[in-house]
Every structure is written in C-alpha cells, then in structure tokens.
Amino acid sequence: MNLVQQLINGVVLGHAYALIAIGWTVLLGVARLVNFGHGQIYMLAAFVTWWATASLGLPYPLAILLAMGAGVLVGLVMQAAMLRLTFAQDLVSIMIVTLGFGHLMRGVAGLVFGGNPQVLETPLSLVDFELAGAWVTGQDLLIVAAGILVFVLLHYGLERGSLGRTARMVAEDPKLAQLAGIDVRRVYFAVFAFEGAAVALAAALVAPRTPILTSIGFEEVIVTFVVVVLGGIGSVAGSYVAGLGLGVFTALFGGFVSPAYATTAAFAVLIVVLVLRPGGLSLGGRAGR
C-alpha cells in the first residue's frame, strides 16, 4: 500500500523532473549551450503564475500561457546579452553569465513579488482520486499528461522533422550552417526562447506542489543536470526515461530512507554515473569543434 503510494508519487515526480529538465536537454543537445539561471526562470515563472491567478484573477490555463510568455522573454533577453559569447562558443563564460542572470532574477522576483512564501492553488489540485489504493490529485494527472504530450511532440518534432535537422546542424557546426544559408542567430534565439517557455510550463504545472519562494530553483538545476546526464546529453527520449527513473528513485528514497537527503542521494547517483562512464559525458570533445 505504502509502496504503491510511493511508486505513484515517483511517477508523478518523474514526469515533473522530466518536464523541468526538457528545456536544458534541448538547449544542450541542439545548441550546445548551458543555462545556470534555469532554476531561477522556474522560480520566476512560478511567481508569475501565482500572480496571474491570485492577483489578476486569470483562469489557470491563461496564467500558464502568461508564465510561458514571461519565460520566452527572459530567454530572449539572456540570449541577446550572450550572443557574442555564443558565437565564440565560450561555454565557461556563458555559464558564469547565466549564473549572474540567476542572481539578478532572484533580486527582481524579490522586488516585484515580495519576500513572502506563496502557495499556488489551482482548481485541479483540489481534486483527489483514489488509484490502486493510493491518492493522487488532478494536478498530478495533469503533470503526467503534459509530460507525455511534450515529450511525444518533441520527439517527433526534433528527431524527425526538418526543424530538428536545422537545429542539429547549427549545434554541430555553426559556421557551416551559416554557409548553408541557415540564420544561426535565429536558431540560437529560438532555442533559448524554447528553454524559457519549457521551464516556465514546468513551473506552472509543478509549482502548485510546493510553496513558492524566491530561493527555490537551486535544487531544480541539480535535478535537471542528473536527468540530462543520465538520459544522455541531448537525447529527448533518454531524458524522459531518466526523469522518470530519478523521480521513482527520489520518491522511494524519500519515503523509506530520508526525505531531507533526497537531493544528496540524487547527487550520489550522478557521481556513480560519472565514475562508471566518464566517457559518456565528454561533450567537450564534440562541442569544441
């Protein structure tokens, strides 16, 4: 009974993780870019969703769209600032700049939304179901459904469609892509806009599960990294499986060992993976060309 509950929790959590990580997966796989402000976009989008429903009185679906719009905006601003570094493929500087953006966003959120913790209530989070003797909310089902939908769309869009081919060409060789008549700048902007929108969507769906504070977002980056690394860098299907696996692992670990150290355990998984297959991570070799 308890095990079933934890497993179901894990599946929900896994879809939440996969959704949170998908922006990064695409960012890294398609454009060879990184974003350490990822967690803070999550935080900002959660606040925008809360503000749209609680203060503006917008219905939840509209609030999600508003949050995604804010995510797109943040992504475009960040990419605009980093365009020179992106063309130089200076990953180290990009990393530090995105950390700076993260800190900046935290200040903006504190200034605009105040320092108090907020709870985002959605109509679906009040609906309970009993499933095989375990309780789930409508919000949980929405997360799972949205997760599956996003991944199916992405899988077909990126790995089959011409859009994905263009983006991958830019990732492999930006200069050659430019010679082939591809507007590389537009691809970089589009990828960062997608990153912002994806993490904002994840925030709008997942944030109702926890209180919203300006300090959240710190751990989301780690979860994201574990998912991206476990799933194989840039693999859409892989990160879905990895997210699901990590979610089940975290739920079981949290339920039966210690909830406080769940992130630590996720980190331990990461270390084990790194030690067992360090070669699987050698993105540097591919990206540096």
Partner 1 sequence: MRGPLRALLAAVAAAALLLLPGWAGGLHGAFAVIAIMAVAAYGLDIVVSDLGEVSLAHTVFFAAGAYATALLSTRLGAGSWATLAAALTAGALLAAALGLVTLRLREFVFSLVTYAATVVAAAVAHNWPLLGGSDGVSAIPTLDLSVGPLRLAAGNDAQLWPYALVLLLLTLYAVRQFRRSRLGAMAMMVHLNPRLATMSGIDVGRVRLLVFVLSSLFSAAAGWLYAYQRAYVGPDLFETYFLVLMLTAVVLVGRRRLLAPLIGTALIVGQERFLSFGGDVNAIILGGALVTALAILPGGLDGTLRRLFARPAPRPTAEREPLPQP
55 versus 84: smaller Cβ distance to partner 1? 84
Give yes or no for residue 182 binding partner 1 (CB under 8 A): no
Q: At what angle do helices 138-159 and 184-206 cross, to 10 degrees?
A: 160
Tell me which of 16, 34, 201, 227 binds partner 1, using CB under 8 A: 34
| Residues 243 and 231 sit within 8 Å (Cβ to Cβ) | yes
147 versus 217: smaller Cβ distance to partner 1? 217
User: What is the contact mask toward partner 1 in residues 122 to 161, using x (rule: CB under 8 A)?
Assistant: ----------------------------------------
- In the complex, the smallest distance separating the C-beta of residue 174 from partner 1, rounded to whole angstroms, is 14
Name every residue whose Cβ is closer than 8 Å to that of residue 236 and which is 6 or more positions away in sequence.
22, 25, 26, 29, 151, 154, 155, 158, 159
Interface positions, 79-108, toward partner 1 (CB under 8 A): 81-82, 84-85, 88-93, 95-97, 99-108
Site residues (vs partner 1, CB under 8 A)? 34, 36, 81-82, 84-85, 88-93, 95-97, 99-108, 110-111, 215, 218-219, 221-222, 225, 260-261, 263-264, 267, 270-271, 274-275, 278, 281, 283-285, 287-288
